[in-house]
Chains A and B, each alone.
Chain A
Amino acid sequence: MSKTEFPPSITSRPVYGELEVRPGKHHLMIADAEGAEAILGLASSAPADLWAQTHIIYIPKSTGETYTGDLRALNPAQMYVGPSYEAAKQRIEDTFAKAHMGLQVYLTGTEGLMGQAMAAAIAAGIPHTAIQTEHRGSTARRMQCVHCKGITEDVTTDPFVCSHCGLNLFVRDHYSRRLAAFQGVCIDAEDPGNVPPQVEVFK
């Protein structure tokens, strides 16, 4: 699957680029699912010593073993494969805490993964403009319910039901970099029960 083209939107909505190898002595690549393809795509232009300076953190999600073998074959200095962002969070934060300036950060895969890893990188002091991203795979969204503040992962329909408080939420393009989530707003507040039909807009 190649990189995703998103329709034009409000300025709050994140935009993503294409990964390229940048100068640096240490490289941290965080990916989920089809994001593995973007990392594998770097191999053709990578200098010979890149992978020996690279730490890959990979969350396969539904892709299972599809890419893990190819990623390991790159022979990175460190590679971690884990079941979820939450499971990898400690490792990601610890890696940033011990890193030095000059570290290059590459994020690729779903918006939820890139957003959360980006928030961790910014908290560690990297300017957000210096963090590379490339969208691959599912366009499902990580949503915050603006009413109960609960997060619902991998939302594919609009509207959807908040997994915490049960309100019917409209999916906005309004994005919070701090929360790494789009905002969901109650769609039937004035006329309870009058909810438009659910449409699968994100795949």
Chain B
Amino acid sequence: MSAGTAKLNVTVAEVKPINELVTRFKFVRTGGGDLPTFSGGAHTVVEMEDGGQTRLNPYSLMSDPADRGAYMVSVRRDDEGRGGSLFMHNNVKEGMEMVISNPVNLFSLDLRAKKHLMLAGGIGITPFIAQMHQLSHTNGLFDLHYSVRTASLGSYAEELQAQYPNRVHVYHDDQDERINLEELLDTQPLGTHIYVCGPKGMIDWVHKTAEELGWPREAVHSEEFLAPASGQPFEVKLAQSNKVIQVGEHQSLLEALEANDVDAPYLCRGGACGQCETTVIECDGKLVHYDHWLTDEQREAGKLIMPCVSRFEGKTLVLDQ
């Protein structure tokens, strides 16, 4: 059960390849009508019926939040992933009916900021496209620094540079162009907030550099969706529902709960939001935490687990579920 998010029935209105790895999907409401409003940085969870298995993947909305006629998401194909992005690329066609969640925003703009400094890496560009739309309606001040592997893989880089001249700066890895982060951060006016979305290494680099340069923690925002990690299969006992379930090698604990008709709460499915936090009653083994939610002290205590991304290795795990 997704907490507080009713489902939306949508029809795929357009499937547009952007480059060799990224494809853009446009959803309109099935039967017509407006979609719910959202704010820049929001994501939707797309349900995929993939041969008897339901995949639920979060994707950032990249369309203009002021346009309620359609939502757009961009999906980067991951050939080594668990199959969600491959399903989107290979199976989703124009005219197909799908189910998506209401938008949820875990990466919203702090509108108290005097200026918004956006740092994107690769497909991490998508939430910023919606945020830039939102800010340009209100004359908000922003700069985007966008790191891409090559010009041909730099999704939307040219369009954004044309749309927001002087505000969008693109860096190409293959031409050895790098964001000069320390200089960039040191020269920002008071009241600037940083937003970073991209690979884990980039997010960690930005948080660490900002902290060293004396930025307040509240002024640095990041979003990284984790795909649930694969790992050894394991068994879980559920105290409330009195069940014993098996979690497969490429299945998350949350997915295993759902496959066994246990109505577990979730929101982001990527270790970020905290909604699926579950109490550990008994643990004879090792909890393998992958989330961004629990603090080091909570991990140390071993009383909580985030079933959307985290796993277990050992003999017995009993959850209050």
Residue among A23, A96, A125 making CB contact with B214, cutoff 8 Å: A23
Chain A min CB distance to B140 (Å): 14
**Do B190 and A126 touch across chains, with their CB atoms under 8 A apart?**
yes
Interchain CB contact under 8 A, B191 and A103? no
CA distance A25 to B185 in the complex (A): 12
Query: Is there contact, CB below 8 Å, between A127 and B213?
Result: no
B211 in contact with A96 (CB, 8 Å): no
Query: Would you call A125 and B186 a contact (CB within 8 A)?
Result: no
Q: A25-B186, A101-B219 given as contacts; is B191 within 8 A of A124 (CB)? A: yes
- Report chain B residues within 8 Å CB of A102: 185-186, 213-215
B114 on the interface (CB 8 Å rule)?
A: yes
Contacting pair B190 A129 (CB below 8 A): no
Is B218 touching A23 in the complex (CB atoms < 8 A)?
A: no
Q: How many residues does chain B have at the interface if contact means C-beta atoms less than 8 Å apart? A: 20
- Residues in A with CB closer than 8 Å to B112 are 125
Q: A124-B190, A125-B190, A127-B219 are in contact. Are A104 and B114 (CB under 8 A)?
A: no
What 0/1 pattern do residues 173 to 199 of B give for CB contact below 8 A with A?
000000000000111111110000000
Say whether A126 contacts B216, CB under 8 Å.
yes
A-B contact count (CB 8 A): 59
- In the complex, which residue of chain A has the Cβ closest to the Cβ of B213? A102
Contact string, B202-215, partner A, CB cutoff 8 A, digits 1/0? 00000000011111
B212 touching A23, Cβ below 8 Å: yes
Let me know if A104 and B219 touch, CB within 8 A. no
The closest CB in chain B to the CB of A97 belongs to B190
- Give the interface centre of B185, B187, B190 by most chain A CB atoms within 10 Å: B190
Q: Is B113 an interface residue (CB 8 A)?
A: yes
Question: Considering the chains assembled together, what is the distance between the CA atoms of A125 and B191 in angstroms?
Answer: 4
8 Å CB interface, A53-110 against B: 96-97, 99-104
Q: How far is the CA of A127 from the CA of B219 in the complex (A)?
A: 7
* Complex Cα gap A12–B212 (Å): 32
Taking CB atoms, residues of chain A closer than 8 Å to B218 are: 127, 129-130
- Chain A: which residue is nearest B189 at the CB level? A100
Q: Say whether A24 faces chain B, with CB atoms less than 8 Å apart.
A: yes
CA distance A104 to B190 in the complex (A): 11
Name B114's contact: one of A23, A125, A127 (CB within 8 Å). Answer: A125
Q: Please report B residues at the A interface, Cβ cutoff 8 Å.
A: 112-114, 185-192, 211-219
Taking a contact as CB atoms closer than 8 A, the residue among B211, B215, B217 that contacts A101 in the complex is B215
Q: Is A149 an interface residue (CB 8 A)?
A: no
**Residues of chain A with a CB closer than 8 A to B114's CB:** 125
Cα A125 to Cα B187 with chains together (Å):
15
CB contacts (< 8 Å) of A96 on chain B: these are 190
Complex interface: chain A residues within 8 A of B212 (CB): 23
CB distance from B224 to the nearest CB of A (A): 22
Chain A residues near B186 (CB, 8 Å)?
Answer: 25, 100-102
Of the candidates B114, B186, B216, the one having the most CB atoms from chain A within 10 angstroms of its own CB is: B216
Q: 14 new A-B pairs (CB below 8 Å) besides A22-B214, A125-B190, A127-B218? A: A23-B212, A23-B213, A24-B213, A100-B186, A100-B188, A101-B188, A101-B191, A101-B213, A101-B214, A103-B214, A126-B191, A126-B216, A130-B216, A130-B218
- Verify A125–B213 contact, CB threshold 8 A: no
Q: B113 near A101 (CB under 8 angstroms)? A: no
By the criterion CB–CB under 8 Å, are B187 and A100 in contact? yes
A125→B211 CA distance, assembly (Å): 17
Write out the residue numbers on chain A whose beta carbons fall within 8 Å of the beta carbon of B187. Answer: 100
Interface string of A124-139 (1 = CB under 8 A from B): 1111011000000000
